[in-house]
């Protein structure tokens, strides 16, 4: 009888513990959902799925296959530094200093005369550099390769990335993780350029040179006259389009004026389709 009574008590205890555990799990789940729902709903896309995994994979591909000279780079530390740049931080108050640990881990020297800038002609520029691995756009460097096409942000009060939404640069705030990153990376890329620098512009639009673009507002102003001999522009227009010389447009003349004021020589050529060589 005593054994049966003990057995019944033991089962009751087990049932109580099981019920208590289920209740605790349910409460934690509800709290987690409520916290998630309380996160700010921004107007931009959320962090790219598997962001950390993609950064690590890209780092390994770049350092082991594309640029094996960088094979000794620590991709695990780069992954951690990239995540840490926005984790537990206000996504509308990111600064360039937040990326300094990542920048130090991805330092890379681009040879003189190998820098290719672009404005509203990303696909054309990358098509060119894919055919000439000696030339580099920003996205062909390790830092740019890691982030190209990705979105990321965190939130204060949590150590997780925000996969729901991230700030839109215009609708929410300009100092968001992605915008600050590309402005910082573009500035550093232009500042490090030397020799002849090339830029590919879109001649199929009315203003191939846009002063408000990243090239017009950041990169052109950070080319250093003591290091850069000249800026050579290729203005590419659609094959079969209306024959014209986009190098004579007012926007290109504005670019020429800016380079002249900065004591950097300027040369412009136009072409229908991708140039075989940028070296003009």
Q: Which residues are catalytic?
A: 112, 194
SS3 at position 234:
strand
State the DSSP string of 97-147: GGGHHHHHHT--PPPTT-BEEEES-HHHHHHHHHH-TTSB-GGGSHHHHHH
Per the DSSP assignment, residues forming a β-bridge with 119 are 201
How many CB atoms are closer than 10 A to CB 185? 24
Residue 186 backbone dihedrals phi, psi, to 5 degrees: -65, -40
**88 close to 161: Cβ distance less than 8 angstroms:** no
SS3 at position 79:
helix
Q: From residue 191, how far is each of 101, 147, 218, 221, 222 by CA, in Å? A: 19, 20, 10, 9, 5
Q: Residues near 241 by Cβ (< 8 Å), separated by ≥ 6? A: 204, 272
Distance separating alpha carbons of residues 249 and 206, to the nearest angstrom: 8
């Amino acid at each position: 009888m005593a054994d049966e009574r003990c057995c019944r008590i033991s089962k009751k205890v087990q049932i109580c513990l099981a019920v208590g555990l289920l209740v605790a799990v349910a409460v934690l789940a509800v709290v987690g959902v409520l916290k998630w729902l309380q996160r700010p709903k921004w107007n931009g896309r959320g962090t790219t799925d598997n962001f950390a995994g993609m950064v690590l994979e890209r780092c390994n591909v770049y350092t082991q296959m594309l640029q094996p000279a960088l094979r000794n780079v620590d991709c695990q530390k780069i992954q951690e530094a990239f995540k840490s740049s926005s984790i537990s931080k206000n996504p509308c108050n990111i600064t360039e200093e937040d990326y300094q640990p990542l920048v130090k881990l991805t330092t890379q020297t681009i040879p003189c005369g190998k820098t290719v800038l672009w404005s509203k002609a990303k696909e054309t520029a990358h098509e060119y550099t894919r055919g000439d691995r000696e030339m580099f756009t920003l996205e062909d460097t390790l830092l740019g390769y890691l982030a190209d096409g990705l979105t990321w942000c965190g939130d204060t009060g949590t150590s997780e990335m925000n996969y729901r939404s991230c700030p839109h640069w215009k609708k929410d705030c300009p100092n968001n993780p992605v915008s600050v990153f590309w402005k910082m990376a573009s500035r550093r890329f232009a500042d490090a350029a030397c020799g002849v620098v090339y830029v590919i512009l879109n001649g199929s639009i009315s203003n191939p040179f846009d002063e408000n673009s990243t090239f017009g507002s950041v990169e052109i102003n950070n080319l250093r006259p003591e290091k850069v001999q000249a800026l050579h522009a290729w203005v590419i227009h659609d094959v079969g389009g209306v024959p014209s010389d986009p190098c004579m447009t007012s926007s290109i003349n504005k670019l020429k004026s800016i380079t002249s004021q900065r004591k950097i020589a300027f040369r412009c050529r136009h072409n229908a389709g991708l140039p075989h060589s940028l070296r003009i």
